[in-house]
Structure 1
Amino acid sequence: MGSLTTWNRLEPRTRSATLPGLAARVADPLWMIGRQGQLGELTGSDTASPLAVHLRYEIAPITHWRPDIAQPGDAGLPRPEGTPIEALVDRVPEPVRPRDRAHGGRRLLTLLGPTLSDRYGAALRREFRLDSGDVLSGRAVDGAEVRAQLALVGPEEVRARLDVTTNDAGGFDAAAEAFATWWDRHHPTAVGAWQPRRLAAPFTVGAGDMTLGAPDHRGGRVDWYTFDVIEGTLAAGGPPPVEGGLTVLPTQLSFPGMPFARWWQFEHGTVDLGRLEAAPDDLGRLLLAEFCLIYGNDFFFVPLTLRAGSVCRITELEVHTTYGEVVSIPPAAVHDKKKGRMGWAMFQFDGEPGVLVLPPCSVDVLDGPATADILFTRDEMANLAWAVDRASTEPPPASPPPDSVLRYRLSTPIPPAWQPLLPTQSGTLESPSGEHVLEALELPREGRRTTRHARHARGEDGAAHLWTGWRTRPGRGESSSGLRYDDLG
């Protein structure tokens, strides 16, 4: 049976002179008070005001993490203090370029100081010669090779190769240690949680007795909605949750453009909800207007300061009113469930009401230019999937000159940047070169686009962190390579 949905709106600004009742006319004070009474402003019901709020909570720091989704009983890795979670999860090794090797050698000479660099600079260029095939070849120190030898044989063997004297050994070892720290920060070899077959970086974190998994993290910013509560004790052996509490006076919530509750109170002129234009099916704007006009002044807030990289669980919330009442406030999801309504779960997890996660993410990440840009897309006309290198500069194949001679081609040429992804018996899509291997289920109809960037961010302690990582975004839909078989033209 069909139904007809209608919407009614109250327009505060009339379009007709025959409707004067919508105008807020001004007369004598008694008339104004009567007008307030007609609007229900002088009617009081359940007028007790919150006097104090008593809050009890537990806070557990996020101390462990692990690539991929942990299973019950798996142990986690200690999370470095102050390091953004993106720098741990999204990190992939980046090939060291010749100029990076030369820059590392110059950094080592700077750390040695003018005296030691004059004495052993020639020996460093001889023993750790940079063969880059350009103007730097033979004239610079290969910083990557120096770092590799320091990790492989130690500073003693390196000093022996350079004939460093005993008097200079202390200064050389200090400079070598500082150089190793600098090199590891700018050219880390640690690998995060990135899985090329899934175009994702699933990972798990642990805080106290709670384990949180991020199965569909595609790179980029990490927030509370990235996680799901899973079984496990990843942070076993870590610090237990710390209990705390506070009693404060609640403050009424306000926001810019909020309508005032009093009829005759002048509102800010930059926001006019009466002139809000919304179509009958524009539910978002209609709900916003309804919330501002009807429920805008029904909320109070209590400030609770939490440290980034922690999980907070609210265990008790009591409100003391001016009438001497003590009202216990359950989580909104629990209250709605008792009333038979769909639970309000903003900033919360299913099955864990009253839990707030503040991941140890960076405030702002600075992305460098894309060093790789791959589009994974489907081509229904060719019945293939493709990996398209969007950063490729190779020109497409030239078309033959038009003439009257018919030519038969087994297949039309494809652009060099397009690599076919062929299905395998294991359920993956693989390019002939083996460069790209992708789970078939990870390639939806709209495709996926992955980009690799160098990223820079500051952690909780203000220290700078530099890493290279991938990020996956939705594609642009199906593509057409122009591939045709048995072409005659």
Structure 2
Amino acid sequence: MSEPRITDLAGALTRRENPAVGVWNRLEGRPRTTDFTRALRAEVRDPLWLLARQWQLGEFRGSDAGSPVTATYSVTASAPGRFRSDVEPKGTPGPLPPDRPLETVAERRPLPFAFGTEPISFDLRLALGRRWLRLLARASGLGDAAEQFVALYPIALPGPDDAAQLAHPEVWAATQAVAGRRLDGYLLYQHLKGGGHASDGIRSLSRQQRTKLDALGPRLTGWFDDLIDQPGGITPDRPSGDSAWDPRRLEHRFSIAAGDRVLSAPEYPGGELDWHAFSTVPGSLGATPAPVTLNRTVFPSPVRYSGMPLPRWWAVEDGKTNFAAVTPDSTDLARLIFLEFALVFSNDWYQLPCDLPAGTLATVGGLCVTDVFGERRWITPAGAAEHWSMYTLGGGPGMLLPPGTPKVATGPALEDVALVRDESANLVWGIEQTVRTTTGEGRAGDEMAAESLAFRRRRHQPQQPDAPRAPIAYEVMSSVPENWIPFIPVHVPGDSRAVQLQRAAMPSEVDASSIRPRTALLREGFDRGQSYFVNEEEVPRSGTRLTVSYNRTRTKTGRVALWLSVRRDVGRGERSSGLAFDLAKGT
């Protein structure tokens, strides 16, 4: 019999024509006793089945192996003692300074004090001048010569067409404040480094005063040379000296020698320098310090890590680490090796303590292990016969602990250049995102370019065009911001297929003159009238970013190290400049 159908549900509920009964029930445990001893024993009803499972999985299979008790090893430690810049042409090998981190020696670059004939870095010029005037004030009888030095090495006001200073209000204000009042210390520094004397050009000095004044010159040059590390070997033919920065490859390239081995770092981008940046190469860089042999007997300890599988079958493991959630691909060899180690061979590994000083190339000469049965075994390197290895330097055994520094303080970017591809214009652009001003600090490149363009427009008023005679006008080429420096593809000499990137120049929309780069990174060879080329593969589709900044750290002896360096990072993809040709615009 079917249930009656309620057509008016609201009315039926109001009149209570169909009463209903609601029932709520709760399930809860009601223990019958207060003694839980038997429940906590977790009694097993079929122990034979459990033993059979352990036998089936091989837990009763003996390997007749003993656990290691002691281990004796011999390690040969060689300290790196030679350094060479591998930028073509390769520099002359020289001693590696023991009081400098390797990052300092590898990354340091010359300080730019001029762009052509235009002086820059007035912050350093004034610092040198203040130091010299302070030396004069402390020396008795030489304080009156300060005014003569200010007149002999002055900071001059810029010319009326000097857009680098006059176009930027803060730069022009700073120049006005010091012009004729402060000493350009870099001019004096150049005079002293060139073999001159501090007393040259100073009048009304006695012989004793000249001798005392000349003795202050080496103190000034020594102070500045110790203040900021710069590469040595700077000559007119090699203006960067033994700097390891390769402007063509956009990376640092250098080699060090430790013992009888030469370790090369061919692709160091800057920043953190570790052992994996090096590989062994043939050759020699000269004599190095004699290696030291360390013989030690230690106690091995089993390897332990979070989520490690327990060796016993019925042990309860920690569930915080879930190796089952790792899903490697068939080509992900590193992850597969890690999983095999973690799940299969984890309890077969032991670790031995081996303390080594920083700045050594360590090679294990031998390892002997004694187990609990008193047997001694000679351990050979894994994979020696199969030519397979890990954590090696590509040409032989050994572990390198670079003589670096654990922490480096990096200052704000003085130059920031983004090398990007523009597929629409078929060009590579060097975008000067941050530009070093004449006074030494960094500013946004687009702001500097806009101020320079506005200054030139005020200086060169364009002629008024004739009245339009047609509804459209022809424009040869559009303009781009002046902080966008083009790189055009050209063929490598002697190769009809290989392509390299050559720095070019855009015409100014004011007077059609070539726009010059405002960063030392993109002015490579510009002041010497040389072209600048970049390997085409150094600018991928993701782009390349280069930053120049000061770095500061302390060595293990407490000495402060300060240097200027370039760091390379990955860019942020392609960009569009909006450059177009053969345009028709409405009048």
TM class by shorter-chain length?
Answer: 0.7 to 0.9
Match of 2:551 in 1: 455
State the percentage of identical aligned residues. 29
Q: TM-score with structure 2 length normalisation?
A: 0.66
Change (3 A) 1:131 1:486: closer
For the structure 1 residues 71 and 212, does the alpha-carbon distance in structure 2 shift closer, same or farther, using more than 3 Å as the test?
farther
State how far apart, in whole Å, the 2-side matches of 1:41 and 1:25 are: 26
Shift of 1:326: 1.9
Q: Report which stretch shifted further, 150-159 or 312-321.
A: 150-159
In structure 2, the residue corresponding to 1:65 is in which secondary structure?
A: strand
User: Which of 290, 298, 323 is matched with 2:373 structurally?
Assistant: 323
Does the C-alpha gap of structure 1 residues 32 and 452 become closer, same or farther in structure 2, counting only changes over 3 Å?
farther
CA contact (8 A) 1:420 1:431 kept: yes
Taking the aligned partners of 1:444 and 1:302, their CA distance within structure 2 comes to 44
| Alignment match, 2:296 | 246
Query: Do 1:278 and 1:286's aligned partners in 2 also have CA atoms closer than 8 Å?
Result: no
1:223-274 Cα deviation digits (max 9, x unpaired): 111112111011x223332333212112223345555546787877xx7124
Give the Cα separation in 2 of the matches to 1:285 and 1:229: 26
- For the residues of structure 1 that align with 2:42 and 2:567, how far apart are their CA atoms? 64
1:468 aligned residue: 564
Q: Structure 1's 417 and 373: CA in aligned 2 closer, same or farther, altered over 3 A?
A: same
Amino acid at match of 1:248: V
Corresponding residue of 1:200: 251
2: CA distance, partners of 1:486 / 1:68: 46
Greater displacement, 87-96 / 222-231: 87-96
Cα deviation digits, residues 141-181 of structure 1 (max 9, x gap)? 322223223223355645965726627955x5665433322
Further displaced range: 156-165 or 303-312: 156-165
Distance 1:277 1:176, change over 3 A: same
SS at match of 2:267: coil
In structure 2, C-alpha distance between the alignment counterparts of 1:86 and 1:462, rounded to whole Å: 16
Mapped pair 1:135 → 2:207: no
Mark the CA change 1:471 to 1:429 in structure 2 (over 3 Å): closer, same or farther: same
Aligned to 1:85: 102
CA spacing shift, 1:407–1:58, aligned 2, 3 Å: same
Alignment check: 8 A CA contact 1:92 1:469 kept: yes
Distance in 1 (CA, whole Å) between partners of 2:139 and 2:281 is 58
- Is the CA contact (8 Å cut-off) linking 2:108 and 2:563 kept in structure 1? yes
Which residue of structure 1 lines up, in the alignment, with residue 321 of structure 2?
Answer: 273
Distance 1:31 1:106, change over 3 A: farther
> Which of structure 1's runs of 4+ aligned residues deviate more than 6 A?
29-37, 40-43, 69-72, 263-268, 282-287
The verdict on how the C-alpha distance between 1:286 and 1:229 changes in structure 2, with shifts beyond 3 A counting, is closer
In 2: Cα distance, 1:276 partner to 1:49 partner: 30
Aligned AA for 2:477?
S
Give yes or no for the alignment of 1:378 onto 2:421: yes
1:482–1:126 CA distance, 2 compared to 1 (3 A):
closer
- What is aligned with 2:132? 108
- Aligned match for 1:369, one of 412, 426, 431: 412
1:445-468 residue CA offsets vs partner (Å, 9 max, x unmatched) = 323221111111223433111111
- More deviation in 202-211 or 426-435? 426-435
Q: Which residue number in structure 1 is paired with residue 284 of structure 2?
A: 233
Contact 2:125/2:185 (CA < 8 Å) preserved in 1? yes
Q: Does 1:422 align with 2:488?
A: yes
Say which of 409, 422, 430 aligns to 2:475: 409
Deviations 1:171-197 (A, max 9, x none): x56654333222113345524111212
> Which of the residues 389, 399, 402 maps onto 1:344?
389
Aligned to 1:6: none
- Residue by residue over 1:80-121, the C-alpha shift from the partner in whole angstroms, topping out at 9 and shown as x without a partner, is 112122212222222242232222222233345546464543
Partners of 1:264 and 1:207 lie apart in 2 by: 51
Work out whether residues 376 and 443 of structure 1, in 8 Å CA contact, stay in contact via their aligned partners in 2.
no
Residues 280, 71 of structure 1: alpha-carbon distance in 2 compared, 3 angstrom cutoff: closer
8 A contact 2:153–2:183 mirrored in 1: yes
Gaps of 5+ in 2: 1-38, 114-120, 158-174, 232-240, 435-444, 455-469, 494-498, 506-515, 517-522, 525-531
- Taking a change above 3 Å as real, the CA distance of residues 29 and 42 of structure 1, as seen in their structure-2 partners, is farther
Determine if contact 1:102/1:130 at 8 Å carries over to the other structure.
no
**Partner Cα separation in structure 1 for residue 501 and residue 249 of structure 2:** 11
Residues 195, 481 of structure 1: alpha-carbon distance in 2 compared, 3 angstrom cutoff: same
Q: Aligned to 1:58, which of 76, 81, 85?
A: 76
Q: Secondary structure at the match of 1:416?
A: coil
Provide closer, same or farther for how the CA distance between residues 332 and 28 of structure 1 changes in structure 2, counting only shifts above 3 A: same
Instruction: Give the Cα separation in 1 of the matches to 2:183 and 2:48.
Output: 87
Q: Is this contact kept in 2: 1:36–1:42, CA < 8 A?
A: no
Q: Helix, strand or coil: the match of 1:63?
A: strand
Distance 1:416 1:149 in 2: 36
Name the stretch that deviates more: 384-393 or 282-291.
Answer: 282-291
TM-score (norm: length of structure 1): 0.78
Secondary structure of the structure 1 residue equivalent to 2:421: strand
Query: Are 1:309 and 2:353 matched, yes or no?
Result: no
Q: 1:414-452 CA distances to partner (integer Å, 9 max, x unpaired)?
A: 332222212334353222248462333333432322111
Aligned length: 449
Q: CA deviation at 1:351?
A: 3.5
* Contact 2:149–2:202 (Cα < 8 Å) also in 1: no
Alignment check: 8 A CA contact 1:124 1:162 kept: no
Partner of 1:166: 208
**Which of structures 1 and 2 has the bigger CA Rg?**
2
In the alignment, is the contact (CA less than 8 A) between 2:281 and 2:395 conserved in 1?
no
Partner SS for 1:184: helix
What do the CA deviations read for 1:363-419 (whole angstroms, capped 9, x no partner)?
A: 122111111111222222322222222221235999xxxxx9544433333332222
**CA–CA separation in structure 2 for the residues paired with 1:141 and 1:36:** 92
Q: Which moved more, 1:104-113 or 1:362-371?
A: 104-113
8 Å CA contact retained: 2:306, 2:321: no
Cα distance in 1 for residues equivalent to 2:581 and 2:196: 60
Distance change in 2, residues 1:54/1:414 (3 Å): same
Kept after mapping to 1: 8 A contact 2:409/2:552? yes
Return the letter of the residue paired with 1:379. Answer: D
Q: Are positions 1:477 and 2:573 aligned together?
A: yes
Q: SS at 2:66's partner residue?
A: coil
Alpha-carbon distance in 1 for matches of 2:126, 2:206? 22
User: Is contact 1:374–1:390 with CA below 8 Å preserved after alignment?
Assistant: yes
Letter paired with 1:421 = F
Residues in 2 aligned to 1:120 and 1:216: alpha-carbon distance in whole angstroms:
51
**Aligned with 1:330: secondary structure?**
coil
What amino acid maps onto 1:432 in structure 2? A
Give the one of 91, 99, 119 matched to 2:123: 99
